[in-house]
Structure 1
Amino acid sequence: MRDFLPADKARRERVLAVIRDRYRAHGFDEIETPVVEEYARLHAGIGGDNEKLSFSVLKRGMDAEAIRAAADDPAALSDLGLRYDLTVPLARFYASHRSELPSVFRAIQIAPVWRAERPQKGRYRQFVQCDIDIIGDPSARAEAELLVASLDTLDALGLEGGTVRINDRRVLDGMLDAFGFSPEERPGVLITIDKLDKIGPAGVADELRARGATAAAVDAFEEFLGRPDAAEDEPFGAAQIRGALPEGIADDLVAHLVGIGDAVAAARPAAGGVPLRFDPFLVRGMGYYTGTIFELAHPSVTYSLGGGGRYDGMIGRFLGQDVPAVGFSIGFERLVDLVAPGEGERAGAVVLVHDRDVPVAELAALKAALVAEGARVRLEQRTKNLKALLERATADGYTSFAAVAAGQPRDALEVKPLG
């Protein structure tokens, strides 16, 4: 959990303003949910490993004896927890307010979440997520809207050239079935396949054997990984998808992915091609994904800048009736470090350096006049080391300064650039 100095905070807010603006331009509406959710909801078996990282809130009114008695039962100690993502709260929100929402609801959520991570570079215990979700639309149109809005947002932040790796959990199931893995062993097999980029095909095969996975299935999977990828250079479409898969994957699943690509291409004709790449081994670890899954990549970095997928079964847990849903989350903490400082971040920021004897009323009037003209204004009393004062103002994002003496009228104020 981190503190942010004024310049860092200003940078973060500027990036958040761009994200909000682009999401709203694509028809999404912002909501807000509490930072805590019921313990049982956060530990319902749908959040994957994130459930293990959830911060729990101790029940109110428990004395030391009651705490000791409940030490082996987390649910008896806690009835609430800090949210570890924004998808579980959204599902609860929709189930609670469905009658007040449109049949197809497009939501924005931008807020902090908490996970009991081991702190390291790029991993924090408190961080901001920027989510958009579409609830109530089972078609490829929903995925396309999310992807277009996310790519548009990346462009607006000066990060053109983003691409999306895309897959479908149903395609993964079909592949595992084709190789011969039993339904019972598939969750563990997917955990290992998710490490393919890190440990390579041989490492995945070795780990699957160490797990005790079906030997013939592992052999078939290893053989498949070793084949030449004839579809590597194909543009996104049916040929590339089919060429990257074993025989037997349902036509409707391939058509669903192709439809997403066609819609994204139609919405971004100036992008120079479909910015999608089919990845048959993209897994994404959240247990609630039921269909399409995707991750956002950018050529400037080796890690993903966001991701998401379809989670048609989650809302039904709270509502008692299944509702289609799909979402996308931008990794804000990773993204903000890539965005170049914008001119608007620093424009019209003036430091008024005044002598000690300037009356407060005169300073207030001068400042108010500049603020009314659209400037950002800071008052600073002149010090012996004026250079250090101005260097500090420059570091804080100010672009100009003016010296103020007693009795100085507004039209005599000379604003000079800093630096």
Structure 2
Amino acid sequence: MASPVTPPRGMRDFLPRDKARREHALGIIRSVYSDFGFDEIETPVVEDFARLHSGLGGDNEKLAFNVLKRGLTPEDAVAAAESGSLDSLADLGLRFDLTVPLARFYATHRAELPPVFRAVQIAPVWRAERPQKGRYRQFMQCDIDIIGEAGPLAEIELISATSAVLSALGLTGCRVRINDRRLLTGMLDAFGFVADEHPGVLITVDKLDKIGTAGVLAELRDRNATPDAVNRLEEFFARPAPDDQPFGEAQIRSRLPLGVDDAVIADLAMIGSAGQSGSPVTFDPFLVRGMGYYTGPIFEIEHPELRYSLGGGGRYDGMIGRFLGQDVPATGFSIGFERIVDLLELAENTRTDSTVLVYDRDVEPSRLIALKAELVAAGRRVRLEKRAKNLKALLDRVTGEGFGAFAFVTSATASASDLDIKPLG
């Protein structure tokens, strides 16, 4: 028996109908982001190894696919393995997200870009994940970023544009959860966690949705986090839920311990209030976002029927400075295209001017090509199909492939004006 011929694990083929559906969704996304003033860019699929492994990508750096240097010999590989210096084997790597390439892009082209640059990137990325349902080794990311705007206007634009995309795709019931990494730091300080503990504590707190408050407290104690700080966090978890209040500074403050930064609260309230015209915005004091490069507001898209987010992002003011030598304010929002496209009930991408010419066997190829060219010049999409014994099966198939009309071609058909074009379906 022949071995199955399949794509590499965690990667997929897309049949024409699936590809058309994805492109239809991508067309909507591109159109809405363009309407909101974002310009699309493109970056290489590979970046320098050192840049991808500079500490900007968090845990994703461990999942990078690396590209071996040209000219390596087996002896080189053995020597690198024996010395424990496998990094010396690679000089490039496939991008694992679009944020690190964008930071490099901006550092490269800053003189050619406007003072405030609004970028769209829609492209595949690669991660050496363990493949499972909804988790792939190659997948599409759709990112918008604003570079050069230090104030909350940037986050308001990102949330507004992303809410408009969700609406245009027909995805209802979403809300945007927001927080600020500075508030998280303030909370940990207020509870009494020392600065060196913060990264590990945030990793644990980020699991709150999965393991609950008891699981978070148990893990922190297993980590030997400051006992008094863990006890204060436990008391905070146990306090009565705050009264329902409209979104704003008072509501945010009621969900935080005393001693956090009032200026940060005011900025976050401004972002959330301005974003309420789209998907509802809610404050979540324990929203973490795992990437360590976030420096300010962070956000995620939540859907009531799903346990995972449909996208997220935040402010990363320190990243571009790694490449440029000076800090540049930057913030971005990424929608989870692979998750979103599976939820969509998109209209069939059927064009009434998509026509199938069903031809008899005795029709000359030159006649078919001339007819097809005539119809294409008139603005139709045209496919040639040889007439089959089971005509109904043929017509059902092309209808399912998005064609809206058909016509028979015989040896007597001289031009497109002789065709009797009929609707399908």
Scaled to the shorter chain, the TM-score interval is over 0.9
Q: What is aligned with 2:362?
A: 357
Q: CA RMSD in A?
A: 1.5
Q: What is aligned with 1:215?
A: 227
Structure 2 residue matching 1:337: 3-state secondary structure: helix
Q: 1:346 to 1:124 in 2, by over 3 A?
A: farther
2 CA distance for matches of 1:396 and 1:181?
Answer: 59
2:59 matches 1:49: yes
2 CA distance for matches of 1:336 and 1:397?
Answer: 18
2:99 aligned residue (83, 87, 110): 87
Alpha-carbon offset, residue 300 of structure 1 = 4.4
The worse-fitting range, judged by mean Cα deviation, of 55-64 and 158-167 is 158-167
Deviations 1:117-139 (A, max 9, x none): 01111110000101110000010
Q: 8 Å contact 1:132–1:146 — kept in the other structure?
A: yes
Alpha-carbon offset, residue 321 of structure 1 = 0.2
Alpha-carbon offset, residue 185 of structure 1 = 1.0
- Count of paired positions: 412
1 CA distance for matches of 2:372 and 2:241?
Answer: 66
Point out where structure 1 has 5 or more consecutive residues left out of the alignment: none
1:166 aligned residue (144, 164, 178): 178
Q: What is aligned with 1:313?
A: 318
1:399 aligned residue (397, 404, 408): 404
Structure 2 residue matching 1:33: 3-state secondary structure: coil
The worse-fitting range, judged by mean Cα deviation, of 308-317 and 365-374 is 365-374
TM-score (norm 1): 0.95
Correspondence list, 1:122-201, <5 A:
122-201=134-213
Alpha-carbon offset, residue 344 of structure 1 = 4.6
Alpha-carbon offset, residue 345 of structure 1 = 4.4
2:74 matches 1:64: yes
Q: 8 Å contact 2:247–2:273 — kept in the other structure?
A: no
Q: 8 Å contact 1:141–1:263 — kept in the other structure?
A: no
Deviations 1:192-218 (A, max 9, x none): 101100110001101110111111111
Q: What is aligned with 2:270?
A: 259
Give the aligned residue type for 2:91: D
TM-score (norm 2): 0.94
Deviations 1:362-387 (A, max 9, x none): 32233233323332211000111222
Structure 1 residue matching 2:357: 3-state secondary structure: strand
Alpha-carbon offset, residue 74 of structure 1 = 2.7
Q: 8 Å contact 2:21–2:349 — kept in the other structure?
A: no
Alpha-carbon offset, residue 388 of structure 1 = 2.5
Alpha-carbon offset, residue 40 of structure 1 = 1.1
Alpha-carbon offset, residue 298 of structure 1 = 2.7
1 CA distance for matches of 2:412 and 2:305?
Answer: 54
Q: 8 Å contact 1:362–1:407 — kept in the other structure?
A: no
Q: 8 Å contact 1:10–1:345 — kept in the other structure?
A: no
Point out where structure 2 has 5 or more consecutive residues left out of the alignment: 1-10
2 CA distance for matches of 1:74 and 1:235?
Answer: 55
2:117 matches 1:105: yes
Alpha-carbon offset, residue 47 of structure 1 = 1.1
2 CA distance for matches of 1:401 and 1:307?
Answer: 45
2:221 matches 1:235: no
Give the aligned residue type for 1:287: G
2:353 aligned residue (345, 348, 354): 348
Q: How high is the sequence identity, in percent, across the aligned residues?
A: 66
Structure 2 residue matching 1:21: 3-state secondary structure: helix
Alpha-carbon offset, residue 400 of structure 1 = 2.6
